[in-house]
Chains A and B, each alone.
Chain A
Amino acid sequence: MDRIDFSLGADMGLKDILSAPDVLPLLKTMVKAGADLAAVTDRKGKFLWAEGSIPDTKELPSMAMEAIAKGGRKKPETLSGVNWRLSAIYHEAEPIGFFFISAPGTVSKQFLSNLMDTAFTGLNIIIRNIVKRVFTTELHTTVVKRSYEELIEINKNLAASEKRYRELSETLDQTVKERTAELKRAYAKLLQQEKMASIGKLAAGVAHEINNPMGFIYSNLNTLWKYVKNLTEMLQFYKRQEAIGKKQEGEELYKKLKIDFILSDIYDLIRQSKDGAERIKHIVTNLKGFSHIDEAADREISINEEMDNTISVLSNEIKNRSAEIVKQYDQVAGFYGNPGLICQAFLNILLNALHSRDDNIIVTIKTEQHGDDAVISIADNGKGIPSEIQSRIFEPFFTTKEVGKGTGMGLTVAHDIISRHGGNIEVKSEPEKGSTFVITLPLRRME
């Protein structure tokens, strides 16, 4: 804001303070009351306003002029002659003019003095009131002007800050929503990880517990198989020997004991037990993989090579299902990781793809490098994954296959392996068109 140039009551002369309408009525009254001349002069005695018999010189009569020149400055200053009175007019202690009246000889001195006192008092009141009014107006104007400018300034600032806050509050709502959604996602993810971790621990425990009895069951079954083979051979030998002698009795007992049926069924029985044991062993292996009971050392591996290894492991399955594998490999830099685990992850996803439909399966495998990431996508032309279960496919023991056919661990293990390598798996799926699993692995992972 500009500094105001303001000096209260800037120097004022009589003409600045008084105007004819202020003074003339008073002077006229003097003349009416008996004066022959009533005048207000400047500080040198020149008339500013006058009434009555005004001399041509338009200044004080010589005797009054002489009195001024002598210059007594006592206050209130009234100089007097035989038939005139003269008083100095002061403004802010400074003499700025004179008030003069004269009267014919017929008027008494006392009357003249009284007239002078009355008129001079009146004039001073007029001057004081005008000066006060001028000062008050000046100050008032200044204060109002400044207050107005300040208000405008304040208003401007307020408007600006209001705008700022309004914008803030508008975006705040949006920001809060975004942050809340972000938090929800993070929380869900955290929950999922927590779940996975605890299930992993559980799985590790279960795997360990099952593995021991599983070992001897499997081994026992194998031994039993051999035992039964020997027994069979022995029995058949006896049957042949018996046929020579007590053929009749032996035949009856043989039938009674349903030996033929036992001999034919016993192998199925053991084979089924072996299959069951095999399957349990497989689950345990997966659980081990998931909980990383058996860790191998990390090293630099080639994604494309590991993919080829995985495909060759699956060659039987591919042939059996007469599936077609389309490879679209790009150059991918070396990746530092656990080859066994990575292969396991690829294998589980590939298996999933190979089971996505019953025939005419086409699996397209793409590898490429995006900046510092290796991106591997495995696409099938299968039935797709219904959207309501898409979020659950990586959950442990979640499977759409019949009970006993799938372990529900394949994708869980794959997900866990990829996560452990700092990457992630995303799935896109359209019903009846197929699913694509996209694995992203960061290449700069050197530990």
Chain B
Amino acid sequence: MIEYDEIEQRMVLKLVYYGPAMSGKTTNLLRLHDILDMEGRGDLMTLDTKDDRTIFFDLLPFFFIAPGGLKIKVKVYTVPGQVRHDATRKAVLTRADGIAFIADSQISESANNSESFENLEKNLAFVGIDIGRIPLVIQFNKRDLKDIIPENEITRVWEPTGIPIFMASALQGWGVIETFKRLVELTYDHIDIRHSLKEKHMLTKEMFVDKLTKVSTELAGQ
């Protein structure tokens, strides 16, 4: 999964925002781009879109150097949610290190959510990733809308799975950082086991999380 070049002292991580069409994956990345400090954060790159729908992917890159000298690049991708772009989803999902599943809270979208989650399970298996082991968080987006699945019902269904669940409105900007932060934390834990980030590269979890989720001072001051 993870790309690690010991001689070059480089590590590239891949985080993927998955979910049904129009659930707000790109909006999540747009918000992260707006909220997070620009130091170490690249520009959001949006590949070809059609009618405001992602047909390839979006990419929000991060880059920083660990105290031990390890250069770390984190690439956050979105996948196209439409059913027809399954091949693209598989390509983007290949070698992923962590996944945020963005669900649409509207009751009318329930079927699409579960269909997309099944698609995620299927495609992870296809690219050889164990869904039980890869860092995974779920965000129920669009909490600002009416006719949404009640929070207690979501909790009742998802709590037993142990997967972290977040409520969000990417449009209004809340819940986005929390979702991303937990994904980053889980990803650190997962990588630390194999690559000893703390011991070999003097990169603590706090530092790692802080580098990726530091809120822009301009916004922080507001």
Chain A residues near B (Cβ < 8 Å): 3-9, 11, 73-75, 90-94, 128, 131-132, 135-136, 139, 142-143, 146-147, 150
Contact = CB atoms under 8 A, between A and B. Distances in A.
Contacts of A136: 47-48, 56
A123 to B, nearest CB: 14
A135 B56 contact: yes
Given A92-B73, A132-B45, A147-B87, A139 B57 contact: yes
A128 B90 CA distance: 24
Contacts of B56: 135-136, 139
Given A92-B61, A94-B73, A131 B39 contact: no
Interface in B59-115: 59, 61-63, 71, 73, 75, 77, 87-88, 90-92, 94-95
A135 to B, nearest CB: 6
Given A90-B42, A93-B61, A136-B48, A7 B88 contact: no
25 contacts: A3-B127, A4-B91, A5-B94, A7-B12, A7-B94, A8-B14, A8-B57, A8-B59, A9-B59, A73-B39, A74-B39, A75-B39, A91-B42, A92-B75, A93-B63, A94-B61, A128-B45, A131-B45, A136-B48, A136-B56, A139-B91, A142-B87, A143-B91, A146-B87, A150-B87
A11 B73 contact: yes
Contacts of A135: 45, 47, 56, 59
Contacts of B40: 93
Contacts of B43: 128
Nearest to B74: A93
Given A3-B128, A6-B95, A11-B12, 20 more contacts: A3-B94, A5-B94, A6-B91, A6-B94, A7-B3, A7-B12, A8-B91, A11-B73, A75-B38, A90-B42, A92-B42, A92-B59, A94-B42, A94-B63, A135-B59, A136-B47, A139-B88, A139-B91, A143-B91, A146-B90
B45 A4 contact: no
A73 B61 CA distance: 16
Contacts, number: 78
Nearest to A132: B47
Contact of B41 (A9, A74, A93, A150): A93
> Which 6 residue pairs across A and B have the least CB separation, nearest first?
A93-B42, A92-B61, A93-B63, A94-B63, A143-B87, A142-B91
Contacts of A6: 91, 94-95
Chain B: number of interface residues, binned into ranges = 20 to 34
B10 interface: yes
Nearest to B40: A93
B63 A7 contact: no
Interface of B: 3, 10, 12, 14, 38-43, 45, 47-48, 56-57, 59, 61-63, 71, 73, 75, 77, 87-88, 90-92, 94-95, 127-128
Contacts of A139: 47, 56-57, 88, 91-92
Nearest to B72: A94
Nearest to B85: A143
A146 B93 CA distance: 14
A8 B38 contact: no
